[in-house]
């Protein structure tokens, strides 16, 4: 694409003592099951894992074909069921992406993680990229939470990312998300800072989801702390902040085992 990545390292950090951090991160966690060879049994298992002895995760994200099964497995539980659209490359034509969103709505999705056409944006086809978000928002209606994945590692600088973030929210995004987790880099402190600042500039209703490469309690604590530094005490509430990191669940449960 010809654009150098906007990325950077992350230093370890925490937001309070380990048990408190683990509890807060668990409440913000989105578990994901998007492997190529997963089956119905895997979908049930990830839903069951979301109902931990220390409380539920925020959501589970599965392929559209598993939405009815996930909804049935989690019936009555305080866990949102999410799916993906235009995933993972962000190449689909607007009508195809919208059809995927309409399917997700018909299957009862609570949330949809939509890949932004970042390559089109970088080519200068900004209107085309934003129109896809707008069309998908219309296909979903207002009930379903729309999280737009910007693939932040492909952006050359914070200002370019900030502008794309604003455009996505104005087109109907409820959440701004860093990465699909399928390419490097995933989440970085620099990218998360830009998205959190953009969300704060637009309004308290806009959420941010960090995803890609988050694997430890220290990672989670660093992002929770960052969300509160930028957006205040409510900045890490699950209604405004999520962590997409299935492999984070075991470290969180281990930290909570002695609570």
Q: What is the residue extent of each domain of the chain? A: 18-253
pTM of the complete model beyond 0.95: no
The whole-number pLDDT of residue 184 equals 84
Q: Hunting for tokens 């830009």 — which residue is that?
A: 194
* Percent of the chain whose predicted confidence (pLDDT) is above 90: 90
Q: In the chain, which ranges are continuous DSSP H helix?
A: 18-28, 40-50, 67-73, 94-106, 118-123, 126-140, 158-170, 189-202, 217-231, 249-256
The token pair that represents 212 in the structure block = 């890609």
Just give the CATH number of 18-253.
3.20.20.70
Q: Tell me the pLDDT band of 16, cut-offs 50, 70 and 90.
A: low
The whole-number pLDDT of residue 12 equals 38
The whole-number pLDDT of residue 169 equals 98
Active site (catalytic) residues = 113, 177, 209
Q: Tens of pLDDT along 100-127?
A: 999 999 999 999 999 999 999 999 999 9
The whole-number pLDDT of residue 185 equals 87
Distance CA 255, CA 17 (A): 10
CB contact set of 113 (below 8 Å; sequence gap of 6+): 61, 82, 83, 84, 85, 87, 147, 149, 177, 209, 244
Q: Tens of pLDDT along 37-94?
A: 999 999 999 999 999 999 999 999 999 999 999 999 999 999 999 999 999 999 989 9
Distance CA 110, CA 35 (A): 21
């Amino acid at each position: 694409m010809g654009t150098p990545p906007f990325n950077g390292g992350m230093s370890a950090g925490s937001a309070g003592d380990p048990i408190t951090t683990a509890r807060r991160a668990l409440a913000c966690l989105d578990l994901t099951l998007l492997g190529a060879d997963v089956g119905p049994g895997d979908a049930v298992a990830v839903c069951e894992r979301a109902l931990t002895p220390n409380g539920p995760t925020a959501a589970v994200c599965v392929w559209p074909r598993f939405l009815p099964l996930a909804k049935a497995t989690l019936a009555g539980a305080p866990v949102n069921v999410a799916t993906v659209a235009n995933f993972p490359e962000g190449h689909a034509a607007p009508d195809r992406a919208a059809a995927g969103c309409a399917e997700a709505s018909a299957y009862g999705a609570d949330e949809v993680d939509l890949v932004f056409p970042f390559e089109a944006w970088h080519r200068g086809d900004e209107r085309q990229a934003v129109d896809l978000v707008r069309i998908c928002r219309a296909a979903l209606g207002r009930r379903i939470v729309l999280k737009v994945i910007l693939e932040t590692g492909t952006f050359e600088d914070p200002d370019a990312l900030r502008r794309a973030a604003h455009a996505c929210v104005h087109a109907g995004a409820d959440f701004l998300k860093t990465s699909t987790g399928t390419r490097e880099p995933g989440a970085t402190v620099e990218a998360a800072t830009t998205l959190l600042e953009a969300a704060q500039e637009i309004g308290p209703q806009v959420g941010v989801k960090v995803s890609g490469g988050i694997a430890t309690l220290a990672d989670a604590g660093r992002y929770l702390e960052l969300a509160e530094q930028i957006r205040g005490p409510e900045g890490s509430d699950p209604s405004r902040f999520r962590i997409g990191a299935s492999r984070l669940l075991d470290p969180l449960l281990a930290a909570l085992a002695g609570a």
